[in-house]
Chains A and B, each alone.
Chain A
Amino acid sequence: MQGVVGVFHHMDAVIDAAKALKAKRVGDLTVYSPTIHHEIEDALDEPISAVRRFTLIGGLLGWTFGYWAAIWASDYWPLQVGGKAIASWVPYTIIGFEMFVMVGCLSTVFGMMILSRIPRLVLNFGYDTRFTHGHYGIWVEAAPDRFGEIESMMKQHGAVEVRGER
């Protein structure tokens, strides 16, 4: 992995630089920001997160499992209460709902981790610890022969520090 990392002090500068680098198609872009800024998301024009698919599948599996577990256990060990059916769907809705929430939430978190590619073992490459403090940044993965072009574009848009990493 090789590329150029730029450190920015201002949000509009990083957005302008990201737009320019994206238009030039110099390489894969990663933009760092200390918090969520939807302006950056808009500038990069990324698709909507696919986390929702994990949520839907997890929720449906949890709901199904909750009902199934309650019905199966009641059928296996039948306990007649108050003349109610052995498998009563009304009280079992509580079990179904709780499992829906539990599995749906956990699969949502799992989906976020998969899509964000975390846990990450190698942290330092193309990264600067100032990105969690107050600075913005851009990492462009590119061949060394394009480093000069990328560095000058970043500086032109207000980068306070630019360095190549290989």
Chain B
Amino acid sequence: MATIAQPAPTRRPNITEPGIQLPAVTSFEQVDNEILATLKPSPKWFIGLGLAVAAMLTGAMTWVFQIYWGLGNAGYAPPVMWGVYIITFVFWVGIGHAGTLISAVLFLFRAGYRTTIYRASEAMTVFAVLTAGLFPIIHIGRPWKFFWLIPYPNWRLLWPQFKSPLLWDVFAISTYLTISTTFLYVGLIPDIAVLRDRETNPIRKRIFAVLSLGWRNTDREWRHFARMYLFLAAFATPLVFSVHSVVSFDFAMSIVPGWHTTIFPPYFVGGAIFSGFAMVWTLIIPIRKWWGLEHYITLNHLDATAKVVLFTSIMVGCGYLSEFFIAWYGGVAPEQEYFWNRVFGQWWWSAWILLLCNMVFPLSLFSQKLRRNTYWLWTLGAIINIGMWYERWVIVVPSLSHEYEPWQWTDYVPTWVDMGFLLGSFGWFFMWFLLFIRQMPVVALAEVKEIIPPKMLREGHGHGGHH
């Protein structure tokens, strides 16, 4: 799947040579020993998990409160009937984009920097989509009736409206969650076999034996596995682009000012990749530092991701500017009024947070020095995700609060219930992610072994450069 190259004389972790991605990694045993060391619990891990569980419980208690006292406790102010819940839903779906993009799209493009970051990104995707999926259920107010969205034979003889973007969303999100989870799991099978063979606790060994499906690294298994992985990547690639396009249809299929635009699908997909990569930094940079994986997730890899972030920042920036241009050039008064109100009127503060975080700060990545500064990348990742949450705020709230009829114009202020769910969503996401990295290798063992030179009896035995 990846390229095998000749051994390098250098052992400097972040300096590559042609064909060598990980100069400081020289043997398969080293890969197993160093990456599996991340599975040992550390005080930092426990502190992180404690904070995540506390935040998750805050969200859970908020949900209990809302179920008991009703949806009126959220900050909805008609006609603003989509608020923090749908904003946060779109935000988490966006975060979930980068994982499959990294594991599937970059795999097809043979981007070498994906190898060491894709496992954490895939896990991030699964847990982000799991988090996103909660919000439509929270938003409907009666979560026990969420299954009415799913088409199934029922005694009421009712079927959902297949022409509705909300139903397309149900199909898109459930397909994405299923395929992301499958992709994560099948990629883990060879690594679980490594865990199984090194485990001494009989109960855990039995669990790993079941999860690894009896995988033994045979030529037959690898041959079919490689072909399967290629096809899964080929399927997942259009899926990545379709999911956020379908989410954008939730808005673009309506006639609300600011929403009714054909630019939404690429604009949403670009933004999703942008925010997803930013969240990858949030997760990966502490992991590589705290577990000493700097020679696996190298500065070159982070530099490459920074270039993707810079590109997508420019892409979404063009999207923002195109919206303003089309509103002016289109000559539709409600659109012009809406965009003026968005940037210079009632919602100026949120629009400028968005523009600064997503268009201005990422321009710093033109500097190679900053692209290779992990502290700046982590900080910028947080800034971008604040900006991307506000992007969804700017899409949802200003449009609904400033539609065609002036007598309908209103304000929207989230309540503590909205904020409790927002906090709880971060807790839920980080809780699952931290539990995952405690049980499974956060860097893919089998794929890292593939990019380091195998041991040879004969010097100069050629293996370079083919797949």
Contact = CB atoms under 8 A, between A and B. Distances in A.
Interface string A132-143: 111000000000
B40 interface: no
Nearest to B162: A70
A77 B157 contact: yes
Max chain A CB contacts within 10 Å: which of B161, B217, B238, B463? B217
Given A51-B231, A94-B171, A121 B214 contact: yes
A163 interface: no
B179 interface: yes
Contacts of B456: 10-12
B28 interface: yes
B467 interface: yes
A37 B157 contact: no
A125 to B, nearest CB: 10
A117 B215 CA distance: 9
A36 B221 CA distance: 9
A133 B222 contact: no
B215 A118 contact: yes
B223 A52 contact: no
B357 to A, nearest CB: 32
Contact of A52 (B161, B218, B227, B467): B227
A116 B229 CA distance: 13
B29 A134 contact: yes
Given A84-B163, A105-B179, A38 B467 contact: yes
B369 interface: no
A94 B168 contact: yes
A123 B219 contact: no
A68 B405 CA distance: 41
B258 to A, nearest CB: 21
B171 A46 contact: no
Contacts of A127: 216
A76 B213 contact: no
A9 B159 CA distance: 61
Interface string B149-182: 0010000011111110000100110110011001
Name which of B160, B178, B455 has the most chain A CB atoms within 10 A of its CB. B455
A33 B226 CA distance: 14
Contacts of A26: none
B449 interface: yes
A120 B213 contact: yes
Contacts of B461: 12
A70 to B, nearest CB: 4
A31 interface: yes
B8 to A, nearest CB: 17
Contact of A41 (B157, B174, B223): B223
A129 B205 CA distance: 13
Contact of A46 (B175, B193, B219, B457): B219
Contacts of B4: 37
A119 interface: yes
B231 A55 contact: yes
Contacts of A21: none
Nearest to A115: B224
B225 A102 contact: no
B32 interface: yes
Given A69-B151, A102-B175, A133-B198, A118 B221 contact: yes
B193 A11 contact: no
B20 interface: no
B27 A77 contact: no
Interface string A73-112: 1101101010010001001101101110110111011011
Given A70-B162, A94-B171, A34 B214 contact: no
B145 interface: no
B44 interface: no
A1 interface: no
A44 B224 contact: no
Nearest to B172: A98
B29 A133 contact: yes
12 contacts: A9-B455, A10-B454, A33-B222, A37-B450, A40-B219, A91-B162, A92-B162, A104-B235, A105-B231, A112-B224, A120-B214, A120-B216
Given A35-B28, A77-B157, A101-B235, 10 more contacts: A30-B218, A33-B217, A48-B227, A66-B171, A76-B159, A88-B163, A91-B168, A113-B213, A132-B217, A133-B28
8 closest Cβ contacts across the A-B interface? A120-B214, A134-B28, A49-B227, A129-B197, A112-B228, A73-B159, A35-B449, A11-B454
Interface of B: 1, 4, 27-29, 32, 151, 157-163, 168, 171-172, 174-175, 178-179, 182, 186, 190, 193-194, 196-198, 209, 213-228, 231-232, 235-236, 238-239, 242, 246, 446-447, 449-450, 454-458, 461, 463, 466-467
